[in-house]
Amino acid sequence: MKLTIRTIYVLTLSFLFVFNVYAGQPYVRIQPPQPTQTEDKIEVVEVFWYGCPHCYEFEPYLEKWLENKPADVEFRRMPGVFRDSWIPHAHAFYTAEKLGVLDIIHKPLLDAIHKNKQNLFNEESLKEFFVKHGVDGDAFTEIFHSNEVETRVKQAFVMGQRYGLTGVPAIIINGKYRTGGDLAGSLPEVLPVIDSLVEQERAEINNQ
């Protein structure tokens, strides 16, 4: 990215806002609602950063929720891009996704950073980590620097602004609502909020 993330972030917030209709609600309504990537299912998006300790703390709760995810719900992850220093992790996420190794990279990378205190915050260290998990180093480099991954990282940044993100982890429900530990009161309390908003979306769809 040519402009720094912080500069664009400040400028964008001048034009975007997200508000809570009723004080005390454990979520905010995204205005305007954002398009989803799932046409026939209710979309739930986790926005995260590999270096975020709260994201690591939230992971077990989210994994438990995913075990009983409703069939009409599509879950996906999106890397947060708040600062230039977060960009390598966003590239790593989309590289793993493109190479089809996200299942063997995602949780181990979180563990390596937060449990094992490994310094995995730049391309070189991330490449070494991928290689240790069976990924060809040349393939990693090629995809990491590909136009496709660069475009997806930029799109993640833009969507973060459109969602009105102020921190991670954040959960976006069907492009209409945002919640997180700060709004719900704690990380475990995020899950009932997700369920409630999913049910709200389901009822609205059924009434159409």
Average pLDDT over all residues of the chain: 91
What is the pLDDT at residue 86?
98
What is the pLDDT at residue 4?
56
Q: pLDDT tens, 144-181?
A: 999 999 999 999 999 999 999 999 999 999 999 999 99
> Averaged over 181-203, what is the pLDDT?
97
Q: How many residues appear in the chain? A: 208
d(CA 13, CA 87): 19
Mean pLDDT is lowest, of 12-21, 93-102, 191-200, for: 12-21
Q: Is the pLDDT of residue 20 over 80?
A: no
Q: Are the CB atoms for 112 and 129 separated by under 8 Å?
A: yes
What is the pLDDT at residue 15?
34
> Averaged over 138-148, what is the pLDDT?
98
Q: Which residues pair with 42 in a beta bridge?
A: 73
Full set of structural domains in the chain with CATH: 5-15+27-45+60-206 (3.40.30.10)
Does the CA dihedral 109-115-121-123 come out positive or negative? negative
Residue 58 phi, psi dihedral angles, 5° rounding: -75, -25
d(CA 114, CA 91): 19
What is the pLDDT at residue 208?
76
Q: Is the pLDDT of residue 126 over 50?
A: yes
The percentage of the chain sitting over the pLDDT mark of 70, rounded to a whole number, equals 89
**Token pair 């309504």 in the structure block, residue:** 29
Mean pLDDT is lowest, of 19-28, 53-62, 70-79, for: 19-28
The stretches of the chain forming alpha helices (DSSP H) are 5-13, 53-67, 87-99, 102-114, 123-132, 137-144, 147-162, 181-184, 190-206
Does the CA dihedral 93-106-49-198 come out positive or negative? positive
Q: How confident is the model at residue 12 (pLDDT cuts 50, 70, 90)?
A: very low
Q: Is the pLDDT of residue 22 over 60?
A: no
The percentage of the chain sitting over the pLDDT mark of 90, rounded to a whole number, equals 85
Q: Could you tell me the pTM of the whole model?
A: 0.88
What is the pLDDT at residue 23?
52
